[in-house]
Amino acid sequence: MKKYGKLTIGLIAGWFFLALSASALHLFQNDANRIGLAVAFAAVTPMIIFSLWFASSEGFRRFALSLNPRVLTSLQSWRIIGFTFLLLEARGVLPAIFALPAGYGDMAIGATAAYVAWKLADPGHRSAFIVWQVLGIVDLITAVGLGTTAGLLDPQGAPMGAMTILPLSLIPTFLVPLFAIFHVISIAQAKNWNGLLDKAYSRIASAA
């Protein structure tokens, strides 16, 4: 487990460095009214790598499922920074069609993350916990979808170029896929809770 822990931390650090460096070199910059293919590639690639690794490596899968779901859920609190989208929309930097749903959605997830981690991350609240995680994923997918199609949906709106340069470029290229991975791990963990609960009941019954 320690091997996978060190490797994972190293990969995340390297991923962040690559996203930061690429942004500093303006590799993601797109002055068109949309998020470009470079940003989409940077966002999707880590999730594909995680999915393949999670599916093919039993050791990594055990490591991922051993992570504390309360910690993973609490980390979603960072999404309260979605209020930044609202401020930038008010200044005409980002289009409303993207900024309002993405901003309010992230704020809702960020504001409730601590409560969900504290109250719902246990077998007794399994369904509610999974629903919240799914809503968090839906919010990310909605934000990415609207960011990609904003220019088509609202040609007269503000451009999406600000999301392709620092510091905002780190959101779609690093934070969005990272938060999506946390959601997926949390859901996978919760799906195993029923089995764990049954085992606990069996032990109690045997002891009695």
Give the mean pLDDT of the chain.
Answer: 90
Does the pLDDT value for residue 197 go beyond 60? no
Residue 29 has φ and ψ, to the nearest 5°, of -60, 135
CA distances from 143 to 1, 23, 160, 162, 171 (A): 34, 20, 12, 15, 11
* Rounded Cα gap, residues 192 and 186, in angstroms: 10
- Distance (Å) of CA 208 to CA 51, 134, 198, 200: 42, 38, 15, 12
CB 45 within 8 A of CB 162: no
Q: Which of 79, 64, 187, 197 is nearest to 128 (CA)?
A: 187
- End-to-end CA gap in the chain: 35
If 0-12 CB within 10 Å is exposed, 13-18 middle and 19+ buried, where does residue 139 land?
buried
What average pLDDT score do residues 12-30 get?
94
Residue 22 predicted with pLDDT over 80: yes
15-24, 35-44, 166-175: the lowest-pLDDT one: 35-44
Q: Taking the model in full, what pTM does it have?
A: 0.91
Count Cβ atoms below 10 Å from residue 178 Cβ, excluding itself.
18
For the chain, give the percent of residues with pLDDT over 90. 76
Please list the helix, strand and coil fractions of the chain in percent, rounded to the nearest 5, in that order: 80, 0, 20
Does the pLDDT value for residue 174 go beyond 90? yes
pLDDT at 206 over 50: no
Among the listed ranges 31-45, 75-89, 112-126, which one has the minimum average pLDDT value? 31-45
pLDDT in tens, 99-117: 999 999 999 999 999 999 9
Q: Mind listing the pLDDT tens digit for each residue in 33-72? A: 556 778 888 999 999 999 999 999 999 999 999 999 999 9
The domains of the chain are located at 2-207
| Total residue count of the chain as it appears in this document | 208
DSSP single-letter state for residue 27: S
Q: Which pair of structure tokens corresponds to residue 167?
A: 């510091």
